[in-house]
Amino acid sequence: MSIRFPRAGLLLRAVLLPLLAAAPGTAATAPPAPEALELASVHAVVMDVETGDVVFRKHADVATPIASVTKLMTAMVVLDGGQPLDEWLTIVDWPRERSKNAYSRLRIGSEAQRRELLRIALMSSENLATNVLASHYPGGFDAFVAAMNDKARALGMSRSQFVDPAGLSPDNRASAADVARMVRAAHGYPDIRALSTGYQHTAQFRSPRYTLPFGNTNPLVASSRWTLGLTKTGYLREAGRCLAMVTMVEDRPVAIVLLDAFGTRTPLGDAGRVRRWMTTGHGGSIAGAARDYERRKVRALLEDGGDGVTATAQ
């Protein structure tokens, strides 16, 4: 007897076929070939969120700056703390030594609810909001950062470290494999799923009363061609363009982690290539400038010793 998959895509086959391999007469279909997927991002992981199985990895064990993707860890620590999401918090400024690249439209001394700050940190990458959340955590800012690192260890993120809740420091580092573990864990929080995937939001403040509009830093949330269950972008000069998200592919949630890419559109193009590869087996081509950037960065990693780097995707 042969078993057919009239509508199932390649990801679903990759998950189901090993379970059927022992059954006599079962037809076997190979999963997508890794070499058929070329990405412009230097580091990448594609993971089945339900099973935790990694279906694609590229230089996935190298610790690298992750910029504002950090905020997924920040959100988990906030929610794990159990403090009321409707509590009004005073907007406090960054410590002087942490003020680099920390521009914000929030008014120092005004107030916002914890949920509001968490929302704009996730969907719009509002940096000062993370400082406010950390400063109002039991024990303050330093205790919050310590909790981030404790959470990372609990999740098995062995190549990660955090020094601030926003990702402004290039010393916030993780491997793509560790970020995938973080994304899978964050996807288990309904509040993170809901707050990170909004398209637009008008935040409310008081003392004095004012409002500010915010938009999502990932334009895919507005596309009818994508169904996102979680998203976070990031950028620092040292980190390149980063994207971590969960999307539906053939009715299954898939985590896509893309770190250190060239240009704002490159991670979005890589995400499209991942989805195309998973449904057709072919990823498509990448632009010349993005390809040159990726090759240059990989050469630099290899010259630095290549710990965790492979010459090709694995």
- State the catalytic residues: 68, 71, 125
CA atoms of 34 and 82, how far apart (whole Å): 42
Check if the beta carbon of residue 119 is closer than 8 Å to that of residue 203.
yes
Nearest to 231 by CA among 129, 309, 121, 127: 121
Q: Where are the beta strands (DSSP E) in the chain?
A: 43-48, 54-58, 64-65, 88-90, 111-113, 173-174, 200-205, 210-215, 228-236, 240-249, 252-261
DSSP category for residue 254 = E
* 42 three-state secondary structure: coil
Residues counted in the chain: 314
Tokens 């090759």 correspond to 295
